[in-house]
Amino acid sequence: MTEKQQHNPDAERRLALRVVTMPRDTNQYGTIFGGVILSWIDQAGFVEARRHGAHRWVTAALDRVDFVAPVGLGDIVNFYTRTVRMGTKSVTVEVDVEVDRYATGQCVRVTTATTTMVAVGPDGKAIPFSSPPTATTPETSR
């Protein structure tokens, strides 16, 4: 780790995303397909990364994800994010996934994932995320 990179062990945890699971999200066993949760983890990582700069952000890495409890149909899935490392062109985001059970409202921890998001310019090349905003709307970038 270079001097420029900063660890943020005490970074504030924020609610980045909250989703109600639907029948389209289930697997053949009636519980939520793990890949759907991974996709939402990715979105939550983007929401957190976007706080550090108005750029396109791409996912460079998603570390091992261990699911310790299933997610059921109708559960409310909460994605809490925290920036745990700030580099020059990338940030590392920790995403805690918890569900509020549909039937009981009980809060259950599902997993914690770590993702590295990289800021990129319009050409898709990595850029320092502290640069002036480079994001364009989908309409203007066409």
> Which residues form the interface with ligand COA (CB under 6 A)?
58-61, 87-90, 116, 118, 120, 124, 126
CB 90 to ligand COA: min, Å: 4
What is the greatest pairwise CA distance in the chain?
A: 49
Measured CA to CA, the distance from residue 131 to residue 117 in angstroms comes to 15
CB 103 to ligand COA: min, Å: 35
Q: State the residue number with the nearest CB to ligand COA.
A: 87
Contact 78, 141 (CB under 8 A): no
Q: Which is nearer to ligand COA, 23 or 124 (CB)?
A: 124
Tokens of 82: 């925290």
CB 9 to ligand COA: min, Å: 17
Tokens of 88: 């020059």
Q: Which is nearer to ligand COA, 1 or 103 (CB)?
A: 1
Position 102: which residue type? Answer: Y
